[in-house]
């Protein structure tokens, strides 16, 4: 696969610099101009891609050089931009901040290097003027191949901007693509935990359109598009992927996987495929890497969405189950009230139906779950344990997983990459996988598993080991034949 794809990466010196707000505003402005835009978020983030898909309407994915090697990262980028005119990526944390905060591996900068991204540094300017040049120079010079080609000055007055722009361009040789004034009335507070309720969408779209209109005034979007056009051609080979079935034709996954209506008829679309996998997909279970779903589909699976909140049974003729992460604790009362679905899922797992349950999905399988309101509610009851709230993040960040015994995702020794992020804890975290942090000495056992089950807090990125995804589908195929 070889293609010239106009692209830009928006980065910042640190979190809290305003890059998410500005990225959303630019995305909306490009969509308003009639461009077909692909958006990306660096790092293990579900919330921003979900927000981009639901509210802005872009095709949104993740870019993560810890999860995937350089070749696979380039392949996924090119694959996910095939039908687009421009790609815009948002960085994570500070530009050079990588694993453990002490190296550039897994950083936004590494993504820029692997994908040869022209990078725009968003510089927070509150309380500073000439010192801004020192900040920019530091980021330009810290690595000789910084990829930083331009800057946007954030939270700065028009007067100071007009004074600093020529200094930045003349002294540092970096393009200045405009500024963003302080915008107190255009924040995105409604993105609470990434949840977007149906009644909020129009209000958020109106707010983003106002933001886009403001950025059309203060940013040089034509120069930004011209910079994207300077991107070099990318080349990537398609990884070898084992298949259960080979569909005669393929259909991509709708970028708005958070909308059940949008998914139906788009994800499960292979006429020759008989391996149907039920995928939980609603406001309680919405943390799903779309690249994971596309990998399963490419291997021959038919992905069928269902709602543990609203439906009373699993879809017909399914041979496997995926319970993604999300917010079951915020919907504990409603999930508990759907006794028919809880019973259906418990019986399916008791019959040996293969199941991947990550984080929120893992919580749902417990006997009881403490809701966000402090009350305990009955859940599916497949795992005889309680899940409860804590006052801190128990385990956070990237992890390397290794299977301690044969199981659903492969033989003992099978490795995968993923991450954890959760305030809830379990009385039964399991011990079928051993986990190590990529930096430091911390390690632990986790995951309740066997030949038919993977249930634990780690979120998996299946492209880190496609054979694990294949093993899951093979177990589903065996169950289908029984």
- Cα of first residue to Cα of last residue in the chain, in angstroms, is 40
Tokens linked to 284: 């309680």
- Is there a contact between 324 and 358 (Cβ–Cβ < 8 Å)? yes
Neighbour order of strands in the sheet with 424-426: 376-378, 366-370, 383-389, 424-426
Reported in sequence order, the residue ranges of 224-326 that DSSP labels E, i.e. its strands, are 233-235, 276-280, 302-306, 320-323
CB burial of 430-457 (b: ≥16 within 10 Å; e: otherwise) equals: bebbebebbbeeeeeebbbbeebbbbbb
Helix axes 198-218, 19-32, angle to 10 degrees: 90
Helix (H) or strand (E) holding 446: strand 443-446
Tokens linked to 19: 């890059």
Which of left, alpha, beta for 156 (phi over 0: left; psi -120 to 50: alpha)?
A: beta
- Is there a contact between 273 and 245 (Cβ–Cβ < 8 Å)? yes
Question: Can you name the residues that pair with 455 across neighbouring β-strands?
Answer: 357, 448
Task: Give the ranges where 87-193 is alpha helix by DSSP (H).
Answer: 108-114, 131-142, 158-172
Residue with tokens 């946007």: 152
Contacts of 444 (CB under 8 A, 6+ apart): 395, 434, 435
Tokens linked to 190: 């409604």
d(CA 206, CA 203): 5
Given 84, 270, 273, 359, the catalytic residue: 359
Neighbour order of strands in the sheet with 355-358: 302-306, 276-280, 320-323, 355-358, 453-456, 448-450
CB burial of residue 42 (10 Å; 0-12, 13-18, 19+) = buried
Q: Can 359 be counted among the known catalytic residues?
A: yes
Q: Helix %, strand %, coil % for the chain, to 5?
A: 35, 25, 40
Catalytically annotated residues: 359
């Amino acid at each position: 696969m070889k293609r010239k794809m106009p692209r830009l990466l928006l980065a910042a010196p640190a979190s809290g610099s305003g890059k998410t707000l500005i990225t959303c505003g630019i995305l909306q402005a490009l969509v308003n101009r009639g461009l077909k835009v692909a958006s990306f978020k660096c790092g293990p983030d579900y919330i921003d891609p979900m927000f981009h898909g639901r509210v802005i309407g872009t095709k949104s994915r993740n870019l993560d050089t810890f999860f995937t090697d350089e070749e696979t990262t380039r392949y996924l980028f090119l694959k996910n931009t095939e039908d687009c005119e421009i790609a815009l990526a948002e960085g994570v944390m500070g530009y050079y901040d990588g694993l453990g905060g002490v190296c550039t591996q897994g950083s936004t900068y590494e993504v820029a290097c692997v994908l040869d991204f022209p990078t725009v540094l968003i510089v927070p300017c509150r309380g500073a003027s000439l010192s801004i040049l020192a900040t920019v120079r530091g980021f330009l010079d810290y690595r000789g191949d910084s990829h930083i080609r331009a800057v946007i000055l954030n939270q700065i007055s028009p007067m100071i901007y007009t004074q600093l722009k020529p200094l930045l361009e003349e002294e540092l040789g970096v393009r200045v693509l405009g500024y963003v004034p302080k915008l107190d009335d255009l924040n995105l507070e409604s993105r609470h935990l990434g949840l977007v309720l149906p009644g909020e969408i129009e209000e958020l779209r109106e707010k983003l359109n106002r933001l886009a209109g403001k950025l059309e005034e203060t940013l040089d979007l034509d120069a930004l598009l011209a910079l994207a056009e300077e991107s070099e051609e990318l080349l990537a080979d398609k990884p070898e992927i084992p298949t259960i079935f080979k569909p005669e034709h393929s259909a991509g996954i709708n970028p708005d996987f958070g909308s059940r209506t949008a998914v139906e008829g788009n994800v499960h679309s292979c006429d020759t495929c008989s391996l149907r996998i039920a995928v939980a997909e609603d406001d309680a279970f919405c943390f799903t890497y779309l690249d994971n779903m596309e990998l399963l589909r490419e291997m021959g699976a038919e992905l069928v969405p269902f709602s543990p909140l609203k439906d009373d049974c699993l879809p017909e003729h399914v041979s496997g189950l995926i319970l993604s992460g999300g917010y079951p604790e915020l919907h504990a009362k409603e999930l508990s009230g759907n006794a028919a679905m809880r019973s259906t899922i418990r019986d399916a797992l008791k019959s040996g139906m293969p199941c991947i349950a990550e984080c929120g999905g893992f919580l749902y399988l417990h006997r009881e779950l403490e809701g966000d309101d402090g009350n305990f509610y009955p859940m599916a009851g497949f795992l005889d344990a309680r899940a409860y709230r804590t006052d801190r993040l128990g385990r956070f960040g990237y992890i390397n997983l290794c299977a301690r015994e044969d199981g659903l995702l492969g033989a003992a020794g099978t490795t995968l990459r993923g991450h954890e992020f959760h305030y809830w804890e379990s009385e039964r975290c399991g011990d079928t996988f051993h986990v190590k942090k990529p930096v430091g000495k911390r390690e632990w056992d986790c995951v309740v598993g066997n030949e038919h089950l993977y249930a634990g807090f780690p979120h998996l990125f299946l492209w880190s080991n496609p054979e694990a995804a294949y093993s899951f589908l093979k177990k589903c195929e065996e169950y289908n034949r029984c």
